[in-house]
């Protein structure tokens, strides 16, 4: 199966400046496509910014999906024959979500809504994601989506791997306190599921938070294929080989040292993982 060249766009954005942010995303999408990327991934909330102080402010920056932003990016994807994944705040009736839109070259539009919400920034005011973790075939590359804090829950990547993901993309807004998420946890998620993992962070400062960059693409062995510097905008490129991700058994020495972290699970032992919580999470105080 052919490999896929992907691009991870590490960039800054301006809080609430949706039109300016959209213009910047479109320009970088064009540049990454010219660089040969078939899938271009942007940070969490890159369209809107993240550090809002109230639900009203958060709602003002939100858009429906489909909406003006996804329509504009879809037109660019059609022109460039490329896929794009970018973060934004989604307004759906009286609900508000931290979302990622995955847009394809023939008008495909897929939305993921962030499931795990930290008490931070816009996530203090958004509603918990209400859709199951799903894998999408882009035409030979099977992609799962998470957002930022989702990576702190290993169940997220594991479910996507069990659904057949070759690659998990994770738009994120990691600030200084989350440096180990950027430099350590992403590689672990790749290794423990034998998948590729692309974590795309932002840079810059916003409402008292400094975003650390260190976007990366990890391979199935938990090694960085590419990693961006701290504090600088950058575009990372990496080659993803779906065939490598799909062979889950790792044979170091036949019959003596073999590893399969997916197919040798013991789900009958994992009941506490899916036991209902006494108080189900419904979001933070608004």
248 is catalytic: no
| Helical pair 154-162 and 186-193, crossing angle rounded to 10 deg | 40
Q: Which of 13, 44, 77, 90 is catalytic?
A: 44
Residue 99 near residue 93 (C-beta atoms within 8 A): no
Handedness of CA 31, 178, 102, 50 (dihedral sign): negative
Q: Which of 13, 90, 114, 206 is catalytic?
A: 114
Bridge-based pairing state of the strands 216-218 and 224-227: antiparallel
Rounded to 5 degrees, what are φ and ψ at 166? -90, -35
- Helix, strand, coil percent content, the chain, rounded in steps of 5: 30, 30, 40
DSSP at 277: P
C-alpha–C-alpha distance, residues 179 and 184, integer Å: 8
The phi-psi region of residue 93 (left if phi > 0; otherwise alpha if psi is between -120 and 50; otherwise beta) is: left
Token pair, residue 227, equals: 């990693």
114 is catalytic: yes
239 is catalytic: no
Sheet holding 216-218, edge to edge: 135-137, 142-145, 167-171, 196-200, 216-218, 224-227
Token pair, residue 132, equals: 């199951």
Q: Which of 13, 90, 148, 206 is catalytic?
A: 148
Residue 27 near residue 68 (C-beta atoms within 8 A): no
Q: Which residues are catalytic?
A: 44, 114, 148
């Amino acid at each position: 199966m052919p490999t896929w060249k992907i691009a991870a766009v590490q960039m800054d954005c301006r809080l609430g400046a949706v039109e300016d942010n959209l213009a910047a995303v479109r320009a970088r999408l064009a540049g990454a496509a010219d660089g040969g990327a078939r899938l271009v991934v942007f940070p969490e909330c890159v369209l809107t910014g993240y550090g809002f102080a109230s639900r009203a402010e958060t709602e003002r920056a939100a858009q429906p999906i489909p909406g003006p932003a996804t329509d504009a990016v879809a037109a660019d994807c059609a022109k460039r024959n490329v896929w794009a994944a970018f973060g934004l705040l989604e307004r759906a009736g009286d609900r508000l979500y931290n979302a990622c839109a995955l847009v394809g070259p023939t008008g495909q539009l897929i939305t993921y809504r962030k499931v795990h919400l930290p008490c931070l920034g816009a996530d203090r005011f958004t509603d918990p994601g209400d859709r199951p973790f799903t894998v999408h075939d882009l035409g030979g590359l099977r992609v799962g989506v998470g957002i930022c804090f989702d990576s702190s829950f290993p169940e997220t990547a594991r479910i996507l791997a069990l659904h057949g993901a070759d690659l998990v993309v994770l738009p994120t807004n990691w600030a200084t306190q989350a440096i180990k998420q950027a430099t350590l946890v992403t590689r672990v998620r790749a290794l423990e599921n034998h998948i590729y993992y692309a974590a795309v962070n932002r840079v810059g400062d916003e409402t008292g938070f400094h975003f650390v960059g260190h976007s990366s693409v990890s391979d199935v062995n938990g090694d960085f294929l590419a990693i961006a510097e701290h504090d600088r905008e950058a575009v990372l490129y990496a080659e993803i080989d779906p065939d490598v991700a799909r062979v889950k058994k790792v044979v170091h020495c036949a019959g003596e040292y073999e590893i399969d972290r997916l197919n040798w699970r013991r789900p009958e032992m994992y009941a506490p993982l899916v036991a209902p919580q006494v108080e189900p999470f419904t979001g933070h105080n608004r």
